[in-house]
Amino acid sequence: MENELPTLVLMPGLDGTGLLFERFVSALPPNIGTHIVEYPNCIATLEEYAALVAEGLPAGRVVLLAESFSGIVALYLLMNHNLLVDSVILVGSFGSAPRRFLKVIRPLFPLLARSIPLIPIAAWRFLCLGAAASAADIAWLKGVLAQVNPSVVAHRLELVASARLPDGPRIGVPAFYLQAREDRLVPRKAAEDLRSLFTCFNILQVPGPHFLFQALPSDCAHIIAGILLNPPIIK
């Protein structure tokens, strides 16, 4: 039917499991269909991640939603694959390395990935989930990350640290960017850099931490439903 809503294709953050979308999906209106991407728990190239998404896209109209790490995968998809998508929604994403120091600490990525279980609760609240995060929220996030091979996490961090804004014509797909106002991992400049890649780009600020969909699933579901049901004017 012509009035059917597009399927929301959810591309996960650094964990790659898709499990962290659970609360967000539960908060969406029932008439919004979703397709959750799961990346393999093994080292892969950006092209391999992009190909996996492209090959698994559901039939019909789709909207890509790329969380954090998946922003660089979505960009690769849009610039190198002949995809027909209604729009793309980027959540705390970036087109190039979000912090300069990442290139300096690249040799430490394997150690950092293995040390995730040892990160103190205060750091999870400060960097990821916000001050209101409960111990159960943090345990949930840590539990999902614990399912990912540390070498895979380290390699994904390598992809983040080496990311550069792609060259080429501007992307004609309408884009929305959800920017967390209290994001301590990705700076605001990342959204402006991405704006330069698109002909139509709209920034929507959300009061919350970097892990928006995990900290504020209902608020984010309301925003995303608004984009799909009543798309705002894109600038």
The residues facing 62 across adjacent strands are 7
Contacts of 231 (CB under 8 A, 6+ apart): 87, 174
35 lies in a domain? yes
Please write the tens of the pLDDT for every residue from 36-70.
999 999 999 999 999 999 999 999 999 999 999 99
Q: Measuring CA to CA, how many Å separate 28 from each of 79, 180, 213, 222? A: 29, 19, 11, 7
Q: Measuring CA to CA, how many Å separate 29 from each of 60, 122, 139, 143? A: 19, 33, 27, 27
149 lies in a domain? yes
1 lies in a domain? no
User: How does residue 235 score in pLDDT terms, banded at 50, 70 and 90?
Assistant: low
121 lies in a domain? yes
Domain hosting residue 147, numbered range: 7-229
| 184 touches 99 (CB < 8 A) | no
Residue carrying the six token digits 């301590």: 184
| Structural tokens at position 41 | 């728990």
235 lies in a domain? no
User: How does residue 168 score in pLDDT terms, banded at 50, 70 and 90?
Assistant: confident
Nearest to 95 by CA among 196, 18, 174: 196
φ/ψ bin of 52: left (φ > 0), alpha (ψ from -120 to 50), beta (otherwise): alpha
107 lies in a domain? yes
What's the domain count of the chain?
Answer: 1
C-alpha–C-alpha distance, residues 8 and 89, integer Å: 10
| 112 touches 154 (CB < 8 A) | yes
Please write the tens of the pLDDT for every residue from 189-231.
999 999 999 999 999 999 999 999 999 999 999 999 999 988 7
What is the CATH number for 140? 3.40.50.1820
C-alpha–C-alpha distance, residues 216 and 129, integer Å: 9
Nearest to 183 by CA among 231, 114, 130, 147: 130
The Cβ of residue 198 has, within 10 Å, a number of other Cβ atoms equal to 21
2 lies in a domain? no
34 lies in a domain? yes
The residues facing 206 across adjacent strands are 180
